[in-house]
Structure 1
């Protein structure tokens, strides 16, 4: 009997293609981080469409638990990296102090040297923030993430735009609410009695305290936006998706903020040494929480 699939050659049967993962052209490839949309994955290119999305219940506790395990499991990157950042910050402080001392005019006004040092420090902080965000997302996608991933496929301007806009809006609101009181206090300080000056300062501190409380309760609505941008979304999509994800998971986002606050406090209480663990833990917890809320991959490759 002739084999209909042999093409005239009856020596070996021919097997038709299957839908098994190993038969797909992209089987075995690493995740793509170039921001291009692959296959039919809508609005997301942080991992290949073949990887399984997160379908579980969003949990801040799970995010923090994973972050602690990861920091200690990959300590050569995260703990040593935190130590390197701490050492770099000390160097920057020393250099800035030297520049300020050399350019001190004695008038109490900011010098060109001090402004340049502040600008360099700000730019470097923003660059490092974007780098470590990308590194945290790499860690979720690949458990083998190490120092070789530094500065790899970092999305620069999209999350930076969102960070700058959020910062500018926050400063504008704070200045609009508190600025007038502070300006009046400073402008008429010589004519105020000690009791009036104390009352004015306390009122400013009270207003700032109220603003901090309000910002804490609304931060879940915008804190995920920069993560969406860092993970491949456009600025517009990141704003829209970040707001929606924050609103849908508002309670767990607040819980994560509370947990991260106590983790940082614990790091300070351990003479500051605990911050080399607290900082990467809170960063990784935010990244993992973002992936949960976005319903994207949370399972690292082994």
Structure 2
């Protein structure tokens, strides 16, 4: 049964607090599983990256980088798979990571399109700020010689930050494309469209949620990085919770 959260007469599809609470609850249920999983991931990734740094041959080093990237993508798909199972109270195990290879090509292509679209939109919006700031900077710095140049450059950079907002919003709207690939076995463009549709009218709630996730993982980093063994699984579980709530709500709206 789907929960509907109410506040001041408005109906919300999910609650950030409930999503984090769900993530924590599922993490505690199988804490050993999640900690071992994260340890394996970090050991493997850091091991590959370490050998990449040691190798002096550029092509071989590049190969190690590709392996590291592929392993990270497989890990992300596997985490999506098992956290969606956790939401449905289905049994999950390490072997689920072997069942996500069929999504890998679709995920890579979708991810490239995702990054390209977000980057293009960001550049289109930010470019006028950059051109204006560059022109103003050269003109101003040429005239000022009293040591305040760094402050002026910093001010001009800050002026350009609002131009990044459309790119960030678009990144959030398309964020769940990989969940649709794993959960609904969707194609490349279909998954991106589905995510765009799913997040319509829910951006503010999603911004709050993702800010909370960033802060939680930042806290994990502050704990000498060891905290990530806890915060990363919780973040994935909480995100699966949010995705499922959005999908369940959408299915009732169009039923």
How far residue 65 of structure 1 moved from its aligned partner, in angstroms, is: 0.9
Q: How does 1:124-139 map to 2 (within 5 A)?
A: 124-139=71-86
**Aligned residue for 1:73?**
29
**Aligned residue for 2:7?**
none
Are 1:161 and 2:109 matched, yes or no?
A: yes
Are 1:276 and 2:229 matched, yes or no?
A: yes
* 5+ long unaligned stretches in structure 2: 5-12, 135-141, 250-255
Are 1:227 and 2:183 matched, yes or no?
A: no
* Residues 77 and 63 (structure 1), Cα distance of their counterparts in 2 relative to 1, 3 Å cut: same
**Aligned residue for 2:211?**
258
Give the structure with higher Rg (CA).
Answer: 1
* Residues 216 and 171 (structure 1), Cα distance of their counterparts in 2 relative to 1, 3 Å cut: closer
What TM-score do you get using the length of structure 1 for normalisation?
A: 0.63
How far residue 133 of structure 1 moved from its aligned partner, in angstroms, is: 1.6
Q: How does 1:1-302 map to 2 (within 5 A)?
A: 54=2, 56=4, 57-99=13-55, 102-103=56-57, 111-152=58-99, 155-173=103-121, 177=126, 202=154, 206=158, 209-210=161-162, 212-232=164-184, 233-295=186-248
- In 2, are the aligned partners of 1:55 and 1:295 still within 8 Å (CA)? no
Partner-residue secondary structure (3-state), 1:231 = helix
* Residues 197 and 174 (structure 1), Cα distance of their counterparts in 2 relative to 1, 3 Å cut: farther
Partner-residue secondary structure (3-state), 1:93 = helix
How far residue 123 of structure 1 moved from its aligned partner, in angstroms, is: 2.3
Give the length in aligned residue pairs: 228
Partner-residue secondary structure (3-state), 1:272 = coil
Partner-residue secondary structure (3-state), 2:114 = helix
1:45-94 deviation per Cα after TM superposition (whole angstroms, max 9, x unaligned): xxxxxxx6x46332222221111111121112212111111212221221
Kindly indicate which of the two structures has a greater share of residues assigned to helix: 2
Deviates more, 1:125-134 or 1:231-240: 231-240
Partner-residue secondary structure (3-state), 1:271 = coil
Residues in 1 aligned to 2:166 and 2:109: alpha-carbon distance in whole angstroms: 23
- In 2, are the aligned partners of 1:83 and 1:276 still within 8 Å (CA)? yes
**Aligned residue for 1:21?**
none
* Residues 197 and 119 (structure 1), Cα distance of their counterparts in 2 relative to 1, 3 Å cut: farther
* 5+ long unaligned stretches in structure 1: 1-51, 104-110, 185-191, 297-302
Residues in 1 aligned to 2:112 and 2:183: alpha-carbon distance in whole angstroms: 17
- In 1, are the aligned partners of 2:85 and 2:91 still within 8 Å (CA)? no
Q: CA RMSD in A?
A: 3.3
Residues in 2 aligned to 1:206 and 1:234: alpha-carbon distance in whole angstroms: 39
Residues in 1 aligned to 2:177 and 2:80: alpha-carbon distance in whole angstroms: 12
- In 2, are the aligned partners of 1:58 and 1:249 still within 8 Å (CA)? no
How far residue 238 of structure 1 moved from its aligned partner, in angstroms, is: 2.1
How far residue 166 of structure 1 moved from its aligned partner, in angstroms, is: 0.8
